[in-house]
Amino acid sequence: MYPGVGGTINVCLNEPFNLVSGISGLVDLDGVWYNNASMETLPSSVDTSGTTGGNVTYTYTASNGVCPDESTTVTVVVNGGCDFTAGLDELAAGFELYPNPTRSSVAISWTAKGETTLTLTDLNGKILLNAVSQASQYAMDLSNFAPGVYIVSLQNGDQLLTERIIKQ
């Protein structure tokens, strides 16, 4: 039973994080995480920072029922000057995909600036097409794909937007 050596994780507002990344050394992963600020036990090692900056301390306790419990702490530093979700509404507001459903190709457009990665996957998550565009538009040819439902993902910086598309 080893809780590891505690450390620090730096995140933005509204950002998901895995507390295990704040521990080093030999770690028994069967322990329990506790949020010291909310005084709640977490269902897993994944949590999301809140909407205000500051420090939140989590305690990780490893126990085997025989030896005394061992604990370590991880401090999450939430930077109030950045927001993980910033820009997501803007990306979604400027996103168009048509026609949907389609028999051949779809036109995809967005208003976000900079490099954008477009990915087409099937419902099992298999990547069928991957493209990068500096322009704010892309024509995706689906004529060689079987009829069905597919997922189109647009990634611009840290922002990810997904949309379902039906190929007839």
- Which residue would you say has higher pLDDT here, 93 or 69? 69
- Domain end point (choices 83, 113, 144): 83
pLDDT single digits (tens) 26-78: 777 778 899 988 889 999 888 989 888 999 999 998 887 788 888 889 999 99
- Domain end point (choices 33, 58, 83): 83
What's the CATH code of the domain at 15? 2.60.40
Q: Does residue 117 sit in the same domain as residue 58? A: no
What counts of helices (H) and strands (E) characterise the chain? 1, 14
Domain tally, the chain: 2
- Which residue would you say has higher pLDDT here, 141 or 68? 141
What's the CATH code of the domain at 136? 2.60.40.3080
Q: Is the pLDDT of residue 165 over 80?
A: yes
Domain that holds residue 145: 88-167
Q: Residue 47 and residue 34: Cα distance in Å, rounded?
A: 11
- Which residue would you say has higher pLDDT here, 43 or 156? 43
Across the range 1-30, mean pLDDT stands at: 80
Residue 65 inside a domain? The answer is yes
Backbone angles phi, psi at 19, to 5 degrees: -65, -25
Q: Is the pLDDT of residue 93 over 70?
A: no
Q: Are 7 and 30 a contacting pair, CB within 8 Å?
A: no
Backbone angles phi, psi at 124, to 5 degrees: -90, 0
Return the minimum-mean-pLDDT range out of 34-38, 83-87, 90-94, 96-100.
90-94
Please tell me the predicted confidence (pLDDT) of residue 22: 86
Please tell me the predicted confidence (pLDDT) of residue 3: 63
